[in-house]
A and B are shown apart, each in its own frame.
Chain A
């Protein structure tokens, strides 16, 4: 214990931990359903990276199992973006592109500081760089692929666009520059979409017609079902071990 060790900002640890946990579970849903075996392994790898991050972050906020398995929907602080259903493969890729670009910028900034998240961020930023690359490679191929893949990728990028503003609202205890991150995020995502021959989605990312109160505990319809599935085993057999 050093004097520099500050108290852990629980709100921020929960927010980042829940993002990682929920997206990890969503990606895990592809197991047995992915288009090809190789891609299934790739998505499972990403899910496991995120689960590892979630365990560290939730442990900073309390007991990881209790937090993951015994909280009600309203107590989760994840972004609404990460809880969105997998949809078709293009939706999963659009969600990955939007989120991993954000997470990469976020961890890079946290890793450069000396706050309580710096050690985790320094390790995770390399994992997330790979997640971002994976999403970018797929976006380019689907966007600039066949007519059907282009149309599906365009639809997915459009559908999730309104969830992206929430990522750049300030979070208590998170010592980053949301406005600077948002500018860098837009530049990066625009660049990928342009190279994928996809139009930049036109809808708003902030304001009345957008989504995004996940950080306040308000979640979208499908999240409850996802949570039921994720928590069912632990709630049915409390304290069970392998």
Chain B
């Protein structure tokens, strides 16, 4: 019996032009070409996308949950990093 387990792929879909690709989910496929086609069938059938990326899940380096504090905690108490201190002139829309 040969190994029939297909590798896992992460799927990123761009929903329309101008937006960036967003993670949509993951799937199994024997190779990249089929991963693209499976992604089309699983995630874009109802007109959700104009472009798809597939990435082997093994190629993704993720931050570890154990390192959550050193990674993300220091950012929490620096309100000056958030652009919340500006007065927005009247008449400016879409900000």
Taking Cβ atoms with an 8 Å cutoff, the residues of A that contact B are: 36-39, 41-42, 45, 133-134, 137, 141, 146
The residue that B2 contacts in the complex, of A45, A137, A146, with Cβ under 8 A, is A146
Hey, which chain B residues are within 8 Å of A39, CB to CB? 38
Known: A137-B33, A137-B34, A137-B37. A38 touches B28 (CB 8 A): yes
Task: Count CB-based A-B contacts (< 8 Å).
Answer: 27
What class of interface size applies to chain B in its complex with A? 10 to 19
Distance (Å) between the CB of A183 and the closest chain B CB? Answer: 29
Distance (Å) between the CB of B30 and the closest chain A CB? Answer: 7
Hey, which chain A residues are within 8 Å of B31, CB to CB? 141
Hey, which chain A residues are within 8 Å of B2, CB to CB? 146
**A42 and B6 contacting across the interface, CB-CB below 8 Å:** no
Known: A141-B30, A146-B2. A41 touches B37 (CB 8 A): no
Hey, which chain B residues are within 8 Å of A133, CB to CB? 37
Assembly CA distance A42 to B39 (angstroms): 10
**B28 and A45 contacting across the interface, CB-CB below 8 Å:** no
Given contacts A39-B38, A146-B2, 12 further A-B contacts (CB under 8 A): A38-B29, A38-B38, A38-B41, A38-B42, A41-B38, A41-B41, A41-B42, A42-B37, A42-B41, A137-B34, A137-B37, A141-B34
Q: At the interface, yes or no: B55 with Cβ under 8 Å from chain A?
A: no
Distance (Å) between the CB of A103 and the closest chain B CB? Answer: 19
Assembly CA distance A36 to B45 (angstroms): 19
Closest A residue to B33 using CB positions:
A137
**A45 and B30 contacting across the interface, CB-CB below 8 Å:** no
List 19 interface pairs A-B (beta carbons < 8 Å), by A numbering: A36-B6, A36-B28, A38-B27, A38-B29, A38-B41, A38-B42, A39-B38, A41-B38, A41-B42, A42-B37, A42-B38, A45-B41, A134-B37, A137-B33, A137-B34, A137-B37, A141-B31, A141-B34, A146-B2
